[in-house]
Amino acid sequence: MGFLLDANLIPIDMRFFPGNQSEKPVMREVIDNLKKRNNITGRTIRIADKGLNCANNIRHALECGDGYIMTKAIKTLSQTEKEWILLNRDYVPVTDADGSILYWIKECVDDFPYTILDNNGRGATVMLREKRVVTYNESLAKKRRAEIRKQANKALGHSLSQVKISEFGDYAKYVVFASTDKQGQATGGKVAVRLNQDVTDLDSLLAGYNLFVTSEVDMSAAEIHATYRNLW
């Protein structure tokens, strides 16, 4: 569902996304139709979660004179960007009225690469000026790590005679299916389920972090975070 909101976040119009196709390309059509139907000619800010964040949607926003605030999957970042997120330096605490820390936040402005696809699927890399804001929530991290352990244990608890590989669902990424002997060496024999330690460790390391990317480089980190949290 896509909403068109005014500056006070009051809905002006809405449109449902079709449920039988990717929402990423549909987002551009939805926004164009909402703006046309409501005679919106001024600049708008497109707010969306990482499921709608792709280079072509960002390009469309900029070509239309609009801005964007979106979340981005941290696991898809370069190693340098991941290291910046995990580096403790420059984080500042955000507290409640009693002084208790709610979460930590930091920001940077830089030029970041995006690969734009043409109609034939050919990609071209462009550099876009963005502000990036990352938050870390310790409570969220603990909850997420507990979920990861639960999912991994659930996957390991299955045997291939109990369930098809395709039925492992979301927690399939935490295991690998391989032919092994008793020492765990691949033999081409019986298929066993083993923990995918690399994926489990990475997800646990990144638990509790959220990344926001935006064209609005003059907005403060707090404003960007608050604006996104008002996403309907």
Task: For residue range 133-148, list pLDDT tens digits in order.
Answer: 999 999 999 999 999 8
Longest dimension (CA), the chain: 69
**pTM beyond 0.75:** yes
Question: What's the mean pLDDT in 186-190?
Answer: 59
Residue entry with tokens 């449902």: 16
pLDDT tens digits, residue range 167-185?
556 667 787 776 655 565 6
β-bridge mates for residue 113, sequence order: 127
Helix (H, G, I), strand (E, B) or coil at 71: strand
Backbone angles phi and psi of 144, in degrees to 5: -65, -40
User: According to the model, what pLDDT value does residue 179 have?
Assistant: 65
Residue entry with tokens 């469309």: 60
Higher pLDDT residue, 41 or 125? 125
* Confidence bin at 206 (pLDDT 50/70/90): very high
Higher pLDDT residue, 92 or 192? 92
Question: What's the mean pLDDT in 113-135?
Answer: 89
Residue 104 has pLDDT above 80, yes or no: yes
